[in-house]
Amino acid sequence: MTVVAPDIVSELELALEEWGGTWRRKRYETADLEGQKLVIAATPDRELNQSIFEEADARNIPVNVVDDPALCTFIVPSIVDRNPITIAINSGGSSPVLARNVRTQIETLVPQGYGRLARWAGQMRERVKAAIGDESGRRHFWEALLGGAIAEQVMAGDEAGATQTLETALASGRPATGEVFLIGAGPGDPDLMTFKALRLLQRADVILYDRLVNPAIVDMARKDAERFYVGKQRDEHAVPQDRINQWLLELAQQGQCVARLKGGDPFIFGRGGEEIALLAEHQVPFQVVPAVTAASAAAAYGGIPLTHRDHAQSVRFITGHTKNGELSLDWQSMQSPAETLVFYMGLVGLPIICRELQAHGRDADTPCALVEKASTPEQRVLTGTLATMASVVEREQPKAPTLIIVGSVAGLHQSLGWFRPRG
């Protein structure tokens, strides 16, 4: 690249050094076109741009005058690059900003792994062609394969596993489509779902969802997908856990794509490990999609940093779920004032938590916060201390889901709380 300009910005100068380009520190002259194969004019002088356009065009050199479509023999589209797949978005020069906005939307819809999938599919073409001689049958095979479990294996980086699954599918004459997606639905706000979570949810034939999953997230699934509620709350399980595990296995073995939607993150107090153990035992393909866990969401939306160099250098996630009215925890290990404690499922056990932390040495004035329905329009943040929090909760009567944060960082809510829910 050759740059002709009296002055350039430092970023462009560094780019020229990195790419081996040349900077001609002067104003443009017609002689600068000699030997060039493509020209971009980006000066603030329209008359100069007009001259560059006419002189380049007369020499049959493609020329683009930035933000002036009338002075362009080519345009530069916005690009979504999934090499070897490339998508170009072009407004014909009428609105480059709008084209960039369209590119941003497409970026969210086209997984990064599509390039890897395209390269792998290219490597497998001859193998599939040899196994399936009929062109129509081969096309249907590819259509099913590229929208199924094998494609997900490739995009996840398991090309060797995908190739092995492909061989099995070719031997049976059809792609193996049964798969389970263990998807974290996050704390409640649908906007906190990951791109991958949304993409896999919309691929699923069957949805099994929990009580804490926002209905708006369930509604993001395909309209024709079957939906089954398998939620749990204290002393009431719609479907026993063992039955859920077995159900996931059976549906996948029937060739279904199953989305198991769980509130928060499936691997943080979500029994995600239990639900995939049976799948792993029977070699059923599955994926785990992590999510924003309740601790991160409640803290962020409550303006409470879980760690802070002036307050806490570590954080501990703890289950506050009581059994038979008791809560057996290693209270002695929770006494460091430099550690933030986060209790999941601790609403019923909150009086016990406050009492035992004080009994084992934590200061009664330690700040506490209870975040109710974090990240949703119904969010509330109740604050107090270990000495007062039980009475605050008794007075305010919060409802699950809640999360309890103990430590000096909880005192930052008053100054850092930014989220103002509606209502």
> What is the predicted pLDDT for the residue at 174?
61
Q: Do 62 and 7 lie in a common domain?
A: yes
Structure tokens at 144: 């099913």
The CATH number linked to 97 is 3.30.160.110
User: Average pLDDT of 167-178?
Assistant: 73
Which comes out higher in pLDDT, residue 111 or 173? 111
Catalytic residue among 57, 158, 232, 363: 232
Tell me, yes or no, whether 337 lies in a domain: yes
> What is the predicted pLDDT for the residue at 405?
98
> Which helix (H) or strand (E) element contains residue 415?
helix 413-416
* Average pLDDT over all residues of the chain: 91
Q: Which neighbouring-strand residues pair with 263?
A: none
For the ranges 136-145, 180-189, 215-224, 382-391, the lowest mean pLDDT is seen at 136-145
The CATH number linked to 36 is 3.40.50.720
Residue 119 burial (10 A CB sphere; 0-12, 13-18, 19+):
middle
Q: Do 323 and 285 lie in a common domain?
A: no
Q: Do 288 and 303 lie in a common domain?
A: no
Structure tokens at 395: 């007075």
Residue 363 burial (10 A CB sphere; 0-12, 13-18, 19+):
middle
Q: Do 353 and 304 lie in a common domain?
A: yes
Q: pLDDT for 408-417, tens place per residue? A: 999 999 999 9
Q: pLDDT for 71-91, tens place per residue? A: 999 888 888 888 888 888 888
Contact 416, 306 (CB under 8 A): no
Tell me, yes or no, whether 115 lies in a domain: no
Tell me, yes or no, whether 252 lies in a domain: yes
Please say which residue of 246, 265, 292 terminates a domain. Answer: 292
Q: Do 381 and 278 lie in a common domain?
A: no
Q: Phi first, then psi: what are they for 239, rounded to 5°?
A: -135, 130
Q: Do 20 and 91 lie in a common domain?
A: no
Q: Could you tell me which of 261, 266, 306, 276 has the C-alpha nearest to residue 412? A: 306
Tell me, yes or no, whether 242 lies in a domain: yes
Q: How far is CA 212 from CA 90, 259, 265, 311, in A?
A: 42, 15, 11, 31
> What is the predicted pLDDT for the residue at 67?
83
* Cα–Cα distance for residue pair 258/239, rounded to 1 Å: 17
Structurally, the chain folds into a number of domains equal to: 4
Contact 48, 28 (CB under 8 A): yes
Residue 34 burial (10 A CB sphere; 0-12, 13-18, 19+):
exposed
User: Average pLDDT of 243-265?
Assistant: 92
Residue with tokens 């008053």: 414
Q: Phi first, then psi: what are they for 209, rounded to 5°?
A: -130, 155
Q: Do 313 and 397 lie in a common domain?
A: yes
Q: Do 322 and 382 lie in a common domain?
A: yes
Tell me, yes or no, whether 137 lies in a domain: no
- Would you say residue 63 has pLDDT above 60? yes
> What is the predicted pLDDT for the residue at 134?
81
- Would you say residue 231 has pLDDT above 90? no
Q: Do 212 and 233 lie in a common domain?
A: yes
Establish whether 232 is a catalytic residue: yes
> What is the predicted pLDDT for the residue at 326?
82
Tell me, yes or no, whether 313 lies in a domain: yes
> What is the predicted pLDDT for the residue at 37?
95
Contact 419, 301 (CB under 8 A): yes
Tell me, yes or no, whether 170 lies in a domain: no
**Residue 206: other Cβ atoms inside 10 A:** 20
Return all residues near 120 (Cβ < 8 A) that are at least 6 apart: 154, 159, 162, 163
Contact 252, 279 (CB under 8 A): yes
Tell me, yes or no, whether 114 lies in a domain: no
Q: Which neighbouring-strand residues pair with 258?
A: 180, 206
Catalytic residue among 189, 196, 205, 210: 210
Range of the domain at 92: 78-109
Residue 409 DSSP symbol: G
Q: Within a 13 Å sphere around the CA of 71, how many CA atoms are in the beta-carbon half?
A: 20
